[in-house]
Amino acid sequence: MSSLVQRSQVTADQVIATETQPLLAAVNLTVESGGTKVLRDISFTLPHGRILGLIGESGAGKSMIGRVIANQLPRGFAVTAGSLPFEGRDLLALPHHEHRELLGRRIAFVPQEPTGALNPAKTIGQHFAEHLKRLDVPKAERRNVALAALADMLMPAPADVYDKYPFQLSGGMCQRVLIALAFVSKPDLVIADEPTASLDVTTQVHIIGLLRRLQDKYRTGVLFITHQLRLAAHLCDEVAVLYAGDIVEYGPAGPLFRRPRHPYSRALDTANPRFSGAWQPLSSPPGHMPGLNEFRNLPGCRFAPRCASAIDACVAEPPALRVVADGTVMRCIRDDAVPAAESVAGVLQPVGANAQSIGLMQVQNVSMTFHSGGLFKPKAETHAVKEISFSISAGEFVGVVGESGSGKSTLGRMIMGLERPTAGQISLDGVPIGHTAAEWRRRIGIVQLVFQDPRSALNPRRDVLNLVTQPLQSTGHLSRREMRDRAEVLLQDTGLPKDVVSRLPHQMSGGQRQRINIARALCAAPRLLIADEIASGLDVSVQAQILNLLLRLKREHDIALLMISHDLAVVRYLCSRVLVMCQGEVVESGDTETIFANPQHPYTRELIAAVPPEDLTRNWTQLGAVG
C-alpha cells in the first residue's frame, strides 16, 4: 500500500481569496434534501470578466449550483449552510423581489436545449419584446435593440430571423437567439448550462467563439456548465470538477486539462476518444454516478466505490481540499491514486472489413427530393440526398459525418426503409430491396436502426422484457419463458444485469436506456446496425461504454455498423471508413485515418478545424468569433 501524502489542508476562505470582491463566490455552500447533503461545502470564485467551468457528468451537481443562483431549487431542497456573495451581497440573504430583479438584468441564463427553451407559438421578435419590456426598454426602441443583439451574434439577416418562429430555425440559430437574449441586458454574470450539447462541431465552435466574443466585449463573468473537459480547457480560465455534489478538483484550466490529478478527473479524460495520436481503447469507471438515495451511505469520498485506489480512510469522512500544484486544489488524500477503469478486454481497434467478407449492403445512386408548397405558396424542391453510392461489408464499421441538415439521417432512414428514395436502388446481399410486405420483413431481418434519443424511442409503459423482445412479439412463435430467456441473453450481450427485465424506462439511467435501445435492435439478429447519433449528449463515461460495446458486438457477432454522427472523434474511434456529407452529397470518402489526417475537400477541412484540439496554444475559439 502506498503511503498517504501529508499536505496542509486548504480552507474555503483560501480557495476563494483571489481578489477582495469577486463578481460571484460560493463559500461552503451546502444544499440538503431530506437530511442528505446534495451539495457539500461548495467553494469557488468567479472574478469579473472571467469564465469558470463546472465539469462533471449528469448528477454531479453542476445545474444545481445554477438553480441556487436563480433561487429555483426543486421542492424539498434547501440551502442549509454557506453564502453566495454577488459583488459582496449574499444572494441567499436578499429579499425575493430584489433577487428577482437581478435575474435577466445583471444575471442571465443560457439554457441547454434551445428548441425547448423557446416558445414555439411566438416569433423571435415576440421573445425579445417580452424580455425587453421587463428591462424597461421603450416599445419604440425594442425592435432596433433586438436586431442589434442578433447582429452582435453575427446572425445572417437579423430582420428575417426576428419575424420567424423557433421551428423555422436550426438548433444552432436558436442557440444564438438564446445567447443574444442573455446578453441584451449587458449582464454582469451569465450562467451557460451545456449550451453546445448535441450541436455539430462547426455550430459548436461558432457558439463558443461568439460567447467568448461577447464575454470579452462586456467583461461579463461566465459560469460555463459542461461535461467536456477539452472544450472547457479552451474556453475557461478556471475549472471546477464536480462529482456527486463535491468539488473534487479546482484550478487553472490549462494545467488541469494537461494533467488531471483527481481519479475522477482522470476518468473523464480517459473516457474521451482522441481525435489525434495513436488509437487507444477508451476506459471509464465502473458503476454509475450515485443517486440522491445513495448519498447517505457515502459519508466519505463519494467517488471511492468506483476508485481502484480507495482505502479505508477514503470512506470514513470527506477528504479536505489541499493544494497539489500549479494553483490546483484537490479533494483526495492520495497522490498515487488512479481511476478505476471499466474492463476493455475484447475491445478491438477498428479495422477494415475482411477481404473475404461478403458485400452486405449496396447503395446505388440514391437520391431523396422533398416537395413543398401548395395553393398559396410556390412549389419548391429540397434535394436532401443527391446520387449517393457506397457499400458496406459484413463486420465493417462506416461513419457518416457532416453538419446538421447535410442529409445524414435521411440517408439512414432510406436504408432502414422509413423513407422511399425518389431515385436509385438499395440492395441487400446483392438483391434489390423494395417496400412490399415481404421485402419489409426481409429488410428488418437484416437491418435495424438504433434511434438517437432512447427516452422517446422506448415506450414508457412497457417494461424492459417487452421492450427488448418487441421485434419478436408479432411472430407469436415464442412462449413468454423463451422471450425472457432471449431478453436475458441480449441484456448480457449489452452489459446489463438480468434483474432489469421488470423495470420501466424511467427507472433507468440514460446509458442504460441506450443499451436497451441497442438490445432491442439486436433481438432479431440483424447483420447491419444503423446508429443515428446514439452517443450524442451522453456523459463521457456512458459514451465510452456504448462505443466499447459496439466494438465488442463487432468482434463477437460480426455486425456491420453505419455510424451517423457529428462527433468526428467518435467516428475515428469506431470506423475504418468515413463518408463526409455536405448539402446532401458525399464530398469525400475513404479510409478514416487518411481523410482525417489529410483532408482534400474544403468542407472536410472546415469540419476538422472545428474539433477542439489537444493543443491549448491554438486559439480555437477565434474560429467562431469571426462568423
- Spacing of C-alpha 426 from chain mean position: 32
Q: Is 307 left (phi over 0), alpha (psi -120 to 50) or beta?
A: beta
Q: Say if residues 197 and 116 touch (Cβ distance below 8 Å).
A: no
**Residue 623: its pLDDT value, please?**
63
Sign of torsion over alpha carbons 313, 318, 319, 320: negative
Give the three cell numbers for residue 144: 432596433
Q: Say if residues 19 and 47 touch (Cβ distance below 8 Å).
A: yes
At 59-106, the pLDDT tens digits run: 899 989 999 999 999 899 999 999 999 999 999 999 999 999 999 999
pLDDT at 18 over 60: no
CB atoms within 10 A of CB 600: 12
Report the chain's terminal Cα–Cα distance, integer Å.
55
Domain extent listing, the chain? 12-106+186-330, 115-184, 395-424+433-625
Of 521 and 357, the one with more pLDDT: 521
**Residue 347: its pLDDT value, please?**
57
- pTM attached to this predicted model: 0.84
**E strands of 111-218, at which residues?**
189-193
Calpha distance 250→232 (Å, rounded): 13
At 203-222, the pLDDT tens digits run: 888 888 888 888 888 899 99
At 226-254, the pLDDT tens digits run: 888 888 999 999 999 999 999 999 999 99
Q: Does domain 12-106+186-330 have CATH number 3.40.710.10?
A: no
Domains 12-106+186-330 and 395-424+433-625 agree in fold = yes
Assigned architecture for domain 395-424+433-625: 3-Layer(aba) Sandwich (3.40)
Closest of 275, 279, 281, 341 to residue 551, by C-alpha: 281
pLDDT tier for residue 314 given thresholds of 50, 70 and 90 = very high
**Residue 131: its pLDDT value, please?**
95
Q: Say if residues 560 and 399 touch (Cβ distance below 8 Å).
A: no
- pLDDT averaged over the chain? 86
At 342-378, the pLDDT tens digits run: 555 555 556 554 444 457 999 999 999 988 766 666 6
pLDDT at 302 over 80: yes
pLDDT tier for residue 475 given thresholds of 50, 70 and 90 = low
